[in-house]
Structure 1
Amino acid sequence: MKKIIIGCLMLGTIAFTLTACQSQAMTGKDKTSQVKISKRDKGKTAYAIVGSYVDNKDKAALVLNSDHTGRYVYVDPKNPDTDDQLTWKKIDATTYRIKLNDSDVTSDLTAKVENNELNLSGDDNWNTENFKKSSKKINLDDFLAQRGQSKGQESESNSTSKESNDSTSSSIPGDDGLFNMPSELLGTWYVADYIDGSVNEVTIKKNVISGEDSGEHFTQKLHKMKKDFDFTSYVQGHSSYHDVTKDWARVVVLSENGERKINVRAWLQGAGDGEYYNLATEHGQTVLVEGGGAEAWVDGIGWRSRADAEKYAKEKFNDLHYREDMTSGDNEDE
């Protein structure tokens, strides 16, 4: 009888031990699953603000990316259009802080997001804008180009002059009004130097070119110079004139072998040929060609994305004209 009782006790102990082990194993498995689920959910954090937005009334648009970056554009009816990069940060469930990379906007903006609408407000210098979320990603370069064209048409129809108001000459000696960049050149380009592979960001607006050059920021306000104006008489002295025109550039359109190029020089520049801008097609994409020198040799190629600019940075294209082509040609003649 003792043997039977002892045997039963031993079986009971073994069964209890197995049950406890199984319970611990299940508990460990559950914890592991919870950790995996937690990590998986963390990687998929979604923000209500991410997406494309349009304010058709004010002719503004913005794109907000999941990496907390974005871009804001605004078609100004009187002044050069706004085209700014930005960063954003979540404050609470419906509120976000937006910082524009714009020296004219010194305060952060506040965005309120609710029911696919975004309300953007700032200090007293900022007009509150109301955006609606778009179901598709907006091409902001196309947005600026299309709205910019309509702006020009409205200005022309409302003016008794053949030229739009922003092209009217000012009282500044030699000024024949603002130069309007062709719409196909507008937007942000990432210009790669084919010699050292460096990439600089350049933004072309209707009447302004700005960007980076060797680590320095530059801004050029695009103007036309009167044909009969002798700017050399203003090179020396005339400090007040220099102050007014220090950021100005004089622009002319040149045509060579049926190809149109935009030549941009400093307003009072004497020696040198300035910069040349035109478009080409490389790797199936429209690219911006920056040139310089007597024959507008290629200085760099501008791409719509930094990734492409870095990828093709040092590539030379057979259909473009480089300084080395002239050198090799001279060697062949010798």
Structure 2
Amino acid sequence: MLRSSWLCGLWPLLFVCAGAPGPAPGGKVLVMPVDGSHWLSMKLLVRELAARGHEILVLVPETSILLQGSDKEPYETQSFSVPYTATQLAESTKWLKENVFYPRPPLAEISTNLGFLLNFTGTQVKGCEALLYNAELMEGLRSRGFQLLLTDPFLPCGSIIADALALPAVYFLRGMPCGLDTLALQCPSPPSYVPRFRSGSTDRMGFLERVNNFVMSGVELQLCRVMYASFDELAARFLGRQVTYRELLGQGAIWLLRYDFTFEYPRPIMPNMVFIGGINCVKGSGLSAELEEFVEGSGEHGIVVFTLGSMVASMPKEKADIFFSAFSRIPQRVRKNIGLITQEES
């Protein structure tokens, strides 16, 4: 009797288990990255998506800075030819690196770099055009049945591809030139409160600072029109309708923002904007014997770890000497990771 009642009670549970969904199948994701340090950030996300069972295809130009195919990666790559050499690519990005270490007054900086900016965008437009008009490649992408496109919107090629293939675009970014992201999504960003890029102001501005910020916002808009004009023409020509990059951006399905809201100026955001600050923080692992010895020998003052990004090779010696001089005056032991070189000092 007891066994019979136990079996009767088990039947509802079996029905529930039978109706429960099984493991979700992985999706098909097309990735159009931006070269350089932008790719280093996105690469972590791409690897994780592949590790979770998604089918990933990354589009890689044959000539690049950091983008390259590898059989050791858990994702697939598809290379495409571009009409520029490695030397031409390096020359078009040289000014970006130099601009970091030789800052000028904002307005002077804009006028000085306008020619370099046009050279940079011209090179990128040529690469994007070579991809879009590669009929065999585009048809192959269409036939793969991708479900979404992951891209960095710093350059518009991914947005154009998403529109051409009728794929929802997922944007992965830290920010965009000229606040184009807020403009595309119609997020309020008043110049009386939100300081413009490299204006040197904070959210507590006096009258003259607000006037300067207002002027900078107007200059930024003009700069963006110049920067993306060639892409606007390419998008309209390839898609067969009058459309601008700003309009394509506004169609983004999800915006993954690589920063934390607590470090930004309070402002309205749209429901499809998701803050993922900290996604690039790698889980800690045990110290090597050499590094552990270095840390243990630091005494009560501890250590300082000084590391720089992908533009360190362009740092002038006089700039580096400023850092090294400062390190020599503190009691902590210093470990400097500069490019591929690691130096230790007491």
TM-score (norm 2): 0.24
Report which structure shows greater RCO (CA 8 Å, sep ≥6).
Answer: 2
Structure having the higher Rg: 1
Q: Which has the higher helix share?
A: 2
